[in-house]
Amino acid sequence: MNAWTHHLIIAPILVPLLASALLLFFDERKRVQKAMISLVSTIILLAIAFILFRIEGGPNSFDGVYLLGNWAAPFGIVLVVDGLSALMLLLTALLGLAALVFSLARWHAVGAHYHSMFQLLLVGLNGAFLTGDLFNLFVFFEVMLAASYGLLLHGSGPLRVKAGMHYIAVNLVAAFFFLIGVSLIYGTAGTLNMADLAARIPQIEPDRRMLMEAGAGVLGVAFLIKAGMWPLCFWLPTAYSAAAAPVAGIFAILSKLGIYVILRLTMLLFADGPSAGFGSEVLLFGGMATLVFGTIGVLASQALGRLAGYSVLVSSGTMLMVLGISDGAISSGALLYLVSSTFTIGALFMLIELVERGQDAGAHVLTVTMEAYGDGEGQQAEEEEGVMMPGTMAILGTCFAACAILLSGLPPLSGFISKFAMLSAMMGTGAIGTPLGPAVWTLIVLVILSGVAALIAMTRVGIRTFWSSLEGTVPRVLVIELVPVMFLLALTMILTIQAGPAMRYMDATIRTLSQPSVYIDAVRNAARVEGWKKPGDAGTGEP
Amino acid sequence: MELVLSIAIGVMTACGVWLILRPRTYQVIVGLSLLSYAVNLFIFGVGGVKSNLPPILQDGVDPGTLTDPVPQALVLTAIVIGFATTALFLVVMLASRGLTGNDHVDGRNDPK
For residue A414, what pLDDT is reported? 85
B99/A contact by beta carbon, under 8 A: yes
Contact assessment for residue B30 and residue B19, using Cβ atoms and an 8 Å cutoff: yes
- DSSP-derived secondary structure for A146-171: HHHHHHHTTT--HHHHHHHHHHHHHH
Number of separate domains in chain B: 1
- CB–CB contact B96 A162 (8 Å): yes
* Cα atoms found within 13 Å of the Cα of residue B112, Cβ hemisphere only: 2
- CB–CB contact A162 B39 (8 Å): no
Ranges under pLDDT 50 in chain B: 112
For residue A435, what pLDDT is reported? 63
B9 found inside a domain: yes
B31 found inside a domain: yes
Cβ neighbours of A142 in B, within 8 Å: 81, 85
Please state the φ and ψ torsions of residue A314, each to the nearest 5 degrees: -60, -45
For residue A376, what pLDDT is reported? 41
For residue A541, what pLDDT is reported? 39
Q: B13 lies in which domain range?
A: 2-48+67-100
Ranges under pLDDT 70 in chain A: 1-3, 58-63, 327-330, 358-390, 428-436, 468-474, 531-543
- Partner-chain residue, chosen from B28, B42, B99, that has the shortest CB–CB distance to A183: B42
- CB–CB contact B85 A182 (8 Å): no
For residue A379, what pLDDT is reported? 42
For residue A389, what pLDDT is reported? 57
CB atoms within 10 A of CB A378: 11
Quote the CA–CA distance of A276 and A265 in Å, as a whole number.
12
Cβ neighbours of B77 in A, within 8 Å: 135, 138-139
For residue A173, what pLDDT is reported? 92
Cβ neighbours of A150 in B, within 8 Å: 88
What element of type H or E holds A79? strand A78-81
For residue A438, what pLDDT is reported? 79
First to last CA, chain A: 28
For residue A383, what pLDDT is reported? 45
Distance from CA of B96 to the nearest CA of A (A): 6
Please state the φ and ψ torsions of residue A204, each to the nearest 5 degrees: -70, 135
| ipTM of the prediction greater than 0.95, yes or no | no
Q: Model pTM greater than 0.80?
A: yes
Rg over CA atoms, chain A: 23
- CB–CB contact A187 B107 (8 Å): no
Best of B88, B100, B103 to disrupt the A interface by mutation (most A CBs within 10 Å)?
B88
Q: What is the DSSP letter of B104?
A: B
- Specify burial of residue A56 (Cβ count, 10 A radius: 0-12, 13-18, 19+): buried
Quote the CA–CA distance of A260 and A86 in Å, as a whole number.
12
Best of A75, A165, A218 to disrupt the B interface by mutation (most B CBs within 10 Å)?
A165
Identify residue A461 by its one-letter amino acid code.
V
A75/B contact by beta carbon, under 8 A: no
Best of B92, B97, B103 to disrupt the A interface by mutation (most A CBs within 10 Å)?
B92
- CB–CB contact A168 B77 (8 Å): no
- CB–CB contact B46 A149 (8 Å): no
- DSSP-derived secondary structure for B24-63: BHHHHHHHHHHHHHHHHHHHHHHT----S------TTS-G
- Residues whose CB falls within 8 Å of the CB of residue A132, separated by 6 or more in sequence, listed in order: A65, A77, A78, A79, A80, A193, A194, A195, A523
B15 found inside a domain: yes
Contact assessment for residue A522 and residue A351, using Cβ atoms and an 8 Å cutoff: no
For residue A199, what pLDDT is reported? 86
Quote the CA–CA distance of B36 and A429 in Å, as a whole number.
45
Tens-digit pLDDT profile for residues A465-486: 777 665 556 677 778 888 888 8
B72 found inside a domain: yes
B22 found inside a domain: yes
Contact assessment for residue A9 and residue A64, using Cβ atoms and an 8 Å cutoff: yes
